[in-house]
Chains A and B, each alone.
Chain A
Amino acid sequence: MGKAKVIGVLGIWGFVLALVVVPVWAATETGATREFEIVVQQYSYSPNVIRVNQGDRVKITLYSIDVMHGLAIDDYPVALQSWVGKTDSVEFVADQAGKFRMRCTVVCGAMHPFLVGELIVTPYATFPISLALTLAVALGTVGLMAWPGAANSADLSRRLRLRLTHIGWVQSLVKNRWTQSTLIWLSLFFFVLILLAAFLGSPVGNANFAIIYVWIVWWGALNFLLIPIGGRLWCVMCPIPIPGRWLDHLSIVRKGRAGTASLGRKLWPQRFRNIWLQNIAFLSVALFSAIIMTRPLATGIVLAGFLVVAFMTAWIYGQRVFCRYICPVSGFIGTYSMVSPVAVRVQDAQVCLTGKDQACLLGCETGSDCPWTEHPGSQTCNAYHGISSACFKRSAKENIALTIRPFGLDLFVVNGRGLDEVYHVFIMLTCAILYSAVYLGSWGWLKDLANIATISGFLLYAVVFLLANLVLLPGLFYVAVWLGKGLAEGKLPPLREAFAFIGIVIQQMVAFRRRQPLPNSAKMPNIPLATSGLPSTQRLFGDYSYALIPLGVAAWLGFTISLVSVNFHDAIRLLSNPFGWGWDLFGTAQYPWILYAPRLIPSLQAAVVLFGLAVSISAAYRIAIHHTSDRRQVLRSLTPPFIIMVAITVLVLRLIL
C-alpha cells in the first residue's frame, strides 16, 4: 500500500472520528435558566426547534392561538395544554442530552398526529454520530465487497434453498382450498369493518378504525413483516380483488369454472403491460396522502375505488389484471419484495416449457389458471407475480414450490428489467424521503402545503413533489452513473448522454410504449464477464437503480417505525371503539397515550437504514461486477452512485431520527 493511500485512509477515518468527538467537546457551560414561549397553532409550534444545554433549567410556556393543543416531550415529564386565553407552563431540568420531539397530545384537527417540534439538549450527538456511522458503513461495505474472494462466498449463498412446499404438512396446507379462503375471509371481515368505519364512523382520524387500522396497523405490518420477510404474502390475502375473483370463477371457495371464464374476455392492452399505471397510481395516492391518511372518508373512497376498479377490470379482462398492472400497493410490494427470501419458484423451468407439466399453463384438476397471468416457467422475480395457492394446486409434480432463499436475490435477475420499474424504484425512494419530511419534520408550512390549506400552495407542492419524484432524484442518479462511467473509462461520455434519459422517459410516459426490457446479457450476474466492459450509460443507469431497492425498503421501514410507535396506542383503543361512537367492547376504550420505547426507537431506525445502505452498496457492487471483472473500474464507476446513496442515507437519518 502506497504512502498516499495510507494517509488517505487515515484521513477519512480521522474525519469520521472528528464528526463524533467535536460536538461532544463543543458543549458549553451549563446550569443557566432558559425560558421559552412557544406559540402553537394548526399545525406547528413556533419556535419549532428549541436548543438548551444539558443541565439547564428550562421553562416552557405554551400559548395556543387557534384551538386547544397540548405539548408533551418524549422522555421528559412535560404535559401542557393550552387554548385561547389559557396558557400553561412547566419547569424542568434538561438532564438528558439528545433530540426529543415535542408532540401535541390533544386532537386538534386532521393533521394532529403530525404536529411536532424539537427540543435539542446539547451535547447533541445523534446526527453527527449517524453521519459518521453512515460513512463508516459505506466505506466498510465497499472494502468488504472489493476484498478478493468476497464474490465467491456470495456465490455459495445463492445456492441455499429451502423448499417449503416439499415439507409434508406445508404442502397439504397450501394445497388445501380452505387455507387461502380462511385468510381471505379474515381480511374481508376487517375490510368490511374498515369501509363501515370510513363511511359511517367518526370523522376524527384518531378515533376511526379505518384510519388507524389501514395506515398504522396494516401499513406497519406490510413494512415490518409482510414485505421484507413474506415478500408477496399480502397478495395471498388481499380482499380487494376478491369480488372480481368470485365473478371470474362463479364460485367462492371451490375452483368453479376457472380457465374457461376468461376466454371470452378482452386482452389487457399491450401498451399498458408495464407498471407505468402503477407508478401513476402510487404518485397520485402519495400526492394526496395528507388527506387520505387523516380523513376516514378519503380513505374509504380510495379503498372503495380500488374495489370498483378491481371488479370492473376483472369483469372486462378477467383475472387479477388490477393487481398486476394498476394497484399501487401491489407495485410497492412487487418491487420491494425483491429483497424478500420467500418466493414462488418453478423448480425446473424445462419441465414447464416442454409441456411435461401441463398444469403450468392451463390449470389442472385441482387448481385454477394463474391469477397473475404469468407463465410459471418464467417466474424469476417477485416483481411480476403474487403468491397464490393456485400455483401449488395445479402443479401435479410439485414442480412449483414455495421457496426460501437468501435475502435480495431477485435484485440480480436481469430478465424483465425496464424503465417503468426503474422509475418505480425512484418514485418510492423519493416518497419515503418526502413523507419523512412532511410527517416527521417540525415544519408546519410543509404540512399546510400537503394538507391543501390553500389551493395555490398545494399546486406548488404538487409541482415540486412530481419534479422531485420524476426528475430530480432519477436525474441526479443518472448524472452520477454518467460521471462514474466517465471515471471508470478515463473519459466522459458525451454531455448530451447525461440528459438523454429525459427524452426517453417522456417518450415512455406519453406513448405508453410496450416496455422494452433491457438486453439480457448474462444469466448469472455474479459470474464476471471479463471482456464486455461497461455498457451504455442508459443500461448502466437501469441496472444500478435496482441497487437502490434495499435502501428504499429501509427508508420506508425507518419512517414507519416512527409512525407506528407514536400512534399504535390508538389501535388498542379503537379495538373497543372502532367507529368513535363511544363503544367499549373489550374495555380498552380508555387506553392511554403511550410512546413505546422512545430511547430505543432512534437506534433501531438508524440500524435499519444503515443496514439498507450496506445491502444497497453490496448489491450495486455485485450488479456492476457482472459487467466487468476489473475491480478498479467497478469501484470507479460506482463512486458517484455511492455518494448519492450516502447522501440519501444521511438525509433520511436527519429526517427520521
Chain B
Amino acid sequence: MRKLVEIVGVLVVLLGLPVAVYAYEFVYLPAQRADVITVVMRTPSNGNLTPMVIRVKKGDLVRLRLTSEDVSHGFRIKELDINVYPIEPGKFTTVEFVAEEAGTFDYFCNIVCSTRHAEMRGQLIVEE
C-alpha cells in the first residue's frame, strides 16, 4: 500500500504536471478561444513575427492576441486603421475588428525594434 502511494506520488509530479500543463495550454485554452489568432512578434533576427499570413473570411469578427518575445513592438494595418502599440515582451494585447472588405492587407511593426525593423511584415488576406 505504501509503495503504491510512493509510486503514485512520484508519477503525479514527474508526469502529471507536464501533462496538466500541456492539456491546459494546448487543449483546454484553445477550445475556450477557438477563433482567436495569436500573433507573436519577434525581430527578424529572432525568427520574425508568426504567423506571416492570416486568412479570414469577409464579414468575420477577427480577434488577434498580440505578444512579443524579445523587445517592444507595434502592430499596424494602415488600410483598416488598426494601430496597437506598444506590445511589450511577455504581455498580451487583444485587438478585435470586423473584416468588412475583401483584399490583401499588410500588417507590420511600427515601433523601431532593430536594424531589420522594416522586414517585420505579414499579410492579412480577407477572402470573399
Task: Point out residues on A near B: beta carbons under 8 Å.
Answer: 66-68, 81, 83-85, 106-109, 185, 188-189, 192-193, 196, 202-204, 206-208, 251-254, 579-583
User: In the bound complex, do residue A189 and residue B17 qualify as a contact, i.e. CB atoms below 8 Å apart?
Assistant: yes
User: In the bound complex, do residue B90 and residue A109 qualify as a contact, i.e. CB atoms below 8 Å apart?
Assistant: no
Contacts of A108 in B (CB 8 A): 71-72
Contacts of A207 in B (CB 8 A): 89-91
User: In the bound complex, do residue A582 and residue B65 qualify as a contact, i.e. CB atoms below 8 Å apart?
Assistant: yes
Task: Point out residues on B near A: beta carbons under 8 Å.
Answer: 2-3, 6-7, 9-10, 13-14, 17-18, 21, 24-25, 29, 65, 67-72, 86, 88-92, 111-114
Q: In the complex the two chains form, what is the Cα distance from A341 to B75 in whole Å?
A: 57
Q: Pick the contact of A206: B10, B24, B90, B114 (CB < 8 A).
A: B90
Main secondary structure of the interface of A (DSSP, over half): loop
Q: In the complex the two chains form, what is the Cα distance from A581 to B18 in whole Å?
A: 15
Q: In the complex the two chains form, what is the Cα distance from A252 to B17 in whole Å?
A: 18
Nearest CB of chain B from residue A591's CB, rounded to whole Å: 12
Q: In the complex the two chains form, what is the Cα distance from A107 to B25 in whole Å?
A: 24
User: In the bound complex, do residue A579 and residue B69 qualify as a contact, i.e. CB atoms below 8 Å apart?
Assistant: no
User: In the bound complex, do residue A254 and residue B2 qualify as a contact, i.e. CB atoms below 8 Å apart?
Assistant: yes
Contacts of A582 in B (CB 8 A): 65, 67, 92
Q: In the complex the two chains form, what is the Cα distance from A43 to B113 in whole Å?
A: 14
User: In the bound complex, do residue A107 and residue B113 qualify as a contact, i.e. CB atoms below 8 Å apart?
Assistant: no
Q: Pick the contact of B17: A85, A196, A204, A581 (CB < 8 A).
A: A196
User: In the bound complex, do residue A83 and residue B70 qualify as a contact, i.e. CB atoms below 8 Å apart?
Assistant: no
Contacts of B86 in A (CB 8 A): 68, 81, 83, 106
**Other A-B pairs beyond A66-B112, A68-B86, A68-B113, 11, CB < 8 Å:** A66-B114, A67-B114, A85-B112, A106-B86, A185-B9, A189-B13, A192-B13, A196-B17, A252-B9, A254-B2, A580-B90
Q: In the complex the two chains form, what is the Cα distance from A90 to B65 in whole Å?
A: 32
User: In the bound complex, do residue A204 and residue B89 qualify as a contact, i.e. CB atoms below 8 Å apart?
Assistant: yes
User: In the bound complex, do residue B90 and residue A202 qualify as a contact, i.e. CB atoms below 8 Å apart?
Assistant: yes
Q: In the complex the two chains form, what is the Cα distance from A85 to B74 in whole Å?
A: 13
Contacts of B13 in A (CB 8 A): 185, 188-189, 192
The 5 closest A-B pairs by CB, nearest first: A207-B90, A68-B72, A84-B112, A67-B71, A107-B89
Q: In the complex the two chains form, what is the Cα distance from A583 to B113 in whole Å?
A: 26
Q: In the complex the two chains form, what is the Cα distance from A108 to B86 in whole Å?
A: 12
Q: Which of B90, B91, B113 counts the most A-chain CB atoms under 10 A from its CB?
A: B90
Q: In the complex the two chains form, what is the Cα distance from A207 to B112 in whole Å?
A: 22
Q: In the complex the two chains form, what is the Cα distance from A579 to B69 in whole Å?
A: 12
Contacts of A81 in B (CB 8 A): 86
Contacts of A84 in B (CB 8 A): 111-112
Contacts of B18 in A (CB 8 A): 192, 196
Please give me the residue from chain B that is nearest to A81 by CB atom.
B86
Q: In the complex the two chains form, what is the Cα distance from A582 to B87 in whole Å?
A: 13
Q: Pick the contact of A203: B6, B69, B112 (CB < 8 A).
A: B69
Contacts of A188 in B (CB 8 A): 13-14
Q: In the complex the two chains form, what is the Cα distance from A193 to B19 in whole Å?
A: 11
Q: Pick the contact of B69: A185, A202, A252, A253 (CB < 8 A).
A: A202
User: In the bound complex, do residue B112 and residue A579 qualify as a contact, i.e. CB atoms below 8 Å apart?
Assistant: no
User: In the bound complex, do residue A109 and residue B21 qualify as a contact, i.e. CB atoms below 8 Å apart?
Assistant: no
Q: In the complex the two chains form, what is the Cα distance from A193 to B17 in whole Å?
A: 7
Q: Pick the contact of A109: B24, B70, B92 (CB < 8 A).
A: B70
Given A107-B89, A581-B25: A203 in contact with B70 (beta carbons within 8 A)? yes
Contacts of A107 in B (CB 8 A): 71-72, 88-90
Q: In the complex the two chains form, what is the Cα distance from A254 to B13 in whole Å?
A: 18
Nearest CB of chain A from residue B62's CB, rounded to whole Å: 18
Q: Which of B6, B14, B71, B111 counts the most A-chain CB atoms under 10 A from its CB?
A: B71
Q: Pick the contact of B7: A67, A192, A204, A252 (CB < 8 A).
A: A252
Given A192-B13, A192-B18: A253 in contact with B2 (beta carbons within 8 A)? yes
Q: Which of B13, B17, B92, B111 counts the most A-chain CB atoms under 10 A from its CB?
A: B13
Q: Which of A83, A193, A208, A251 counts the most B-chain CB atoms under 10 A from its CB?
A: A83
User: In the bound complex, do residue A252 and residue B65 qualify as a contact, i.e. CB atoms below 8 Å apart?
Assistant: no
Q: Pick the contact of A253: B6, B17, B65, B88 (CB < 8 A).
A: B6
Q: In the complex the two chains form, what is the Cα distance from A204 to B46 in whole Å?
A: 12
Contacts of A202 in B (CB 8 A): 69, 89-90
Contacts of A189 in B (CB 8 A): 13, 17
Q: Pick the contact of A192: B14, B67, B111 (CB < 8 A).
A: B14
Contacts of A106 in B (CB 8 A): 72, 86, 88
